[in-house]
Structure 1
């Protein structure tokens, strides 16, 4: 049995701690904030999209990006920086914007998504987390452009899982779409996809972790360096609340992982993709979508989480900027009021912005860091909630000296 330090109290760090405890290790979780799930896990989209995992980098994206940048309400914003991290990430992203590369990446992420779905079911059966607003209504991706819909529908017909639906069939499946101002060409429905409250999940799982005798939690303890042995291996962490020795140190701190890894001589190809969300209360008079809905062209997703509607959108490449941009929030309000005008009380919506730690390929980075004793579970982008259960088990197996349950091609540093 090893003693492990997990750095990061978001959904990736917490699920990693759980997976290590399951395998008999002792775990100290170190989180710099006073509470868990204060970063990208706080108010994200809430969708568990195990089958809708195609990376952002694809053959048509560079041309689409130009159009998005010219659209005041487009999903993309870009602020050039005098930063090697930004430009090197963009160059690597463009290298991934090729059809064959995207298809290979999608295949490996679909396998990871399926494994993560099974891993979540096992965790939920054992932990019995009740107050996370978990539902499995399925996911509907709606398309506005007939040509785009026809292309996707031709690919999914006969797949046996996804279903291509006409406009009328979309409205029959999700009656709230009858209120939209948009003319929809159709949609792709995937049964079984789920939604849940990621923040509530993290809080409940953290409480369950504290019931385990092998767990220790250190909140409000910022990591400022690593303990090293005589051979240069990592043997724990230095924090503002004291040193924590460990046999294995797992980095799962979202975007902050990039800075911490650099202090150990490890360069992580991670860049923040800033996203926004609105959380709007649902009253009796409202008609929210019950199915999880993604607007493909607008890149906006809608998920009913309990008595609230979570709306998440936008990819802003603006560095480590967490400010709430009034123009972007106004743009999001215009879009959601046009698409689901009667779904929730948007006047009382709570805005939020988060930084999603993304790799150029869209795949997380798992396993060995190249520094003995330091392991990685980072770079999940917008799919941290979805992939966290699977990646936690993969990393826990590797730390335990076992082989990965999935091939790691494309998923390592």
Structure 2
């Protein structure tokens, strides 16, 4: 049965959700308060669609490792403590999730969601969705620490989809990083992983949706208020908006939107950075690469190189920190010296990634009967977007079946 569904949020999660619901035959209104879609955390992320490399940040040993990182100005993680109960609640929940058993359980959940997303994305591309620099070059994760590498090798479940490589074999897979061989313990190559431009993907989805029957796009602010019969009321631009169901996919803003309903989402903004570089074409790597120990990702997007890194916990703005960017530029020069990039022409970006303490997104029905949640994807939003959208579409279909049976 066709329904009208309002989707709040025009980032990669909200757009993917709207697209999946349109494909399922529903009428959809997408509501985005910014000037255009994909301008938040979706704008300039790492570009990796790393469906098989979705290990949550919360893991055994991470708190102690993070303490060592924080003593270095160029560390992957920085922490600024604030007199903010929300930050402390999130951090305590994060610390409780830093066990090996919890990490493995959540990694399995993310892996399944990622693989569902890869299958869904393939369907969308086969149907004609394009224009976002999609490629399938595979991904190479480089390890400098031998113990960390052996731990990663022990976690391989399918040696066809994840291949353990020696340092020399890593250089064969991606020659642009060959000079790092003396510093490497090894690498893991996932030949089926992909890359694409998240912002261009958002724009491609918007174009496809605007051409679809039953779709409406509103550039307005959406709010939710309690209603009778265990439901909530949607207002758009201050006016009541009638709809059958609502899907909230507004990233970090979802916290404020659900607060009037008494729903307190365990989301926190982890500030991340990226640089979009334009080095000589012959120096661009082909394979997507992750420098694990430095927590830096490198992805070729067309004729540019997207470099993404760092987590600033406690930073509440999206203004790029000049010192953090300088450290990232230095690391890029050390890692890819042949690129010889003129950093005066690079494009820096910083954004707040909406993360749950466990790293597992919240996808499902809320305490309000007409409200579904699709939030908390952290740094994996692009990777998990299609799979999360497909799950929302299935939830809507299942709910319809249940109501008919009742």
Note the 1:3-402 alignment, pairs <5 A. 3-126=4-127, 128-156=128-156, 159-180=159-180, 183-219=183-219, 221-223=220-222, 225-226=223-224, 228-235=226-233, 237-240=234-237, 242-284=239-281, 286-343=282-339, 345-347=341-343, 348-402=345-399
Distance 1:403 1:141 in 2: 43
Q: Distance in 2 between matches of 1:340 and 1:23?
A: 45
Superimposed CA distance per residue, residues 326-384 of structure 1 (whole angstroms, 9 cap, x where no aligned partner): 10000101111100122363411100001100001100001111112111000001110
Structure 1, residues 6-65: CA drift from partner, whole Å, max 9, x if none? 000011000100111122211110000111000011000010010001100000101101
- Long gaps (5+) in structure 2: 402-406
Number of equivalences: 399
CA distance in 2, matches of 1:246, 1:319: 36
Distance 2:324 2:288 in 1: 23
SS of residue paired to 2:183: coil
Q: Which has the higher helix share?
A: 2
Q: Cα gap change, 1:23/1:157 in structure 2, threshold over 3 Å: closer, same or farther?
A: closer
1:159 Cα deviation after fit: 3.2
Secondary structure of 2:306 counterpart: strand
- Conserved? CA contact 2:168–2:181, under 8 Å: no
- Give the Cα–Cα distance (whole angstroms) in 2 for the partners of residues 86 and 397 of structure 1: 33
Higher alpha-carbon deviation: 334-343 or 246-255: 334-343
Query: CA–CA distance in 1 between the matches of 2:84 and 2:164?
Result: 43
Native 8 Å contact 2:7 2:17 kept in 1: yes
SS of residue paired to 2:286: coil
TM-score by structure 2 length? Answer: 0.94
Secondary structure at 2:90 match in 1: helix
Query: What displacement does 1:228 show?
Result: 4.9
* TM-score where L is the length of structure 1: 0.93
| Structure 1 partner of 2:404 | none
Q: 1:144: how far off?
A: 0.8
CA–CA distance in 1 between the matches of 2:375 and 2:182?
Answer: 37
**CA separation of 1:371 and 1:158: change in aligned 2, threshold 3 A:** closer
Instruction: Give the distance between the partners of 1:252 and 1:342, measured in 2 at CA.
Output: 41
- 1:78 touches 1:316 (CA, 8 Å); kept in 2? yes
Deviation for aligned residue 1:209: 0.2
State whether residues 255 and 355 of structure 1, in contact with CA within 8 Å, keep that contact through their aligned partners in structure 2: yes
**Higher mean C-alpha deviation, range 320-329 or range 291-300:** 320-329
- Post-superposition offset of 1:288: 1.6
Q: Give the conservation status (yes or no) of the 8 Å contact 1:86–1:319.
A: no
